[in-house]
Amino acid sequence: MSQTTILYVEDDELLRLTVQDTLELEGWRVESCDDGLAALARVESAEHYDLLLFDNELPGASGLDLLRHARMLPYRQHTPIVIISATDAEREARRAGADAFLKKPDDINQLVSTIASLLPTSVSPDTNL
């Protein structure tokens, strides 16, 4: 069984490192970047990701831009995508194809359970959530 790989895009370094550590403790492999343009290159690449996790407010391209672009790519249409935002962008994110939306900072404690619920059970971590 291959390890679950998550692409995580967040421009706040402290938050990015904290969330990445949390997700890696769950047994997931996390590739992270801190700007929308770098993330766009990864989204367009042939690299396999089991889940895409985007902050909405990013330099270069927003999380919603990344979401819309990913949904236009045949090989990303069914990849679960979670948008995290401090702004009220849930309606727009859902319309663009987000599988989940978490509001910062209130919903951050639901991140692990949200991700686990979106991953097929064959790629979920073995730890108890």
Can you give the CATH number for the domain in which 74 is found?
3.40.50.2300
* Mean per-residue pLDDT, 56-72: 96
Residue 125: partners with Cβ closer than 8 Å, 6 or more residues away = 4, 26, 27, 28, 116
Question: Is residue 89 in a domain?
Answer: yes
Residue 20's identity, in one-letter code, is Q
User: Is the per-residue pLDDT at 43 higher than 90?
Assistant: yes
Phi, psi of 71 (to 5 degrees): -70, -20
Per-residue pLDDT band at 73 (split at 50, 70, 90): very high
81 close to 54: Cβ distance less than 8 angstroms:
yes
Euclidean distance between the first and the last CA atom of the chain, given in angstroms as a whole number:
20
Question: Is residue 18 in a domain?
Answer: yes
- pTM above threshold 0.85: yes
* Mean per-residue pLDDT, 7-34: 96
Residue of higher predicted confidence among 118 and 122:
118
Quote the pLDDT of residue 1. Answer: 52
Tell me how far apart the alpha carbons of residues 37 and 66 are, in angstroms, rounded to a whole number: 9
H helices of the chain, where? 13-25, 36-44, 63-72, 90-96, 111-118
- Cα 17 from chain centre: 14
Quote the pLDDT of residue 125. Answer: 46
Question: Is residue 123 in a domain?
Answer: no
Mean pLDDT of the chain: 91
Q: What domain range is 27 assigned to?
A: 5-117
Question: Is residue 28 in a domain?
Answer: yes
User: Is the per-residue pLDDT at 94 higher than 50?
Assistant: yes
* Mean per-residue pLDDT, 59-78: 96
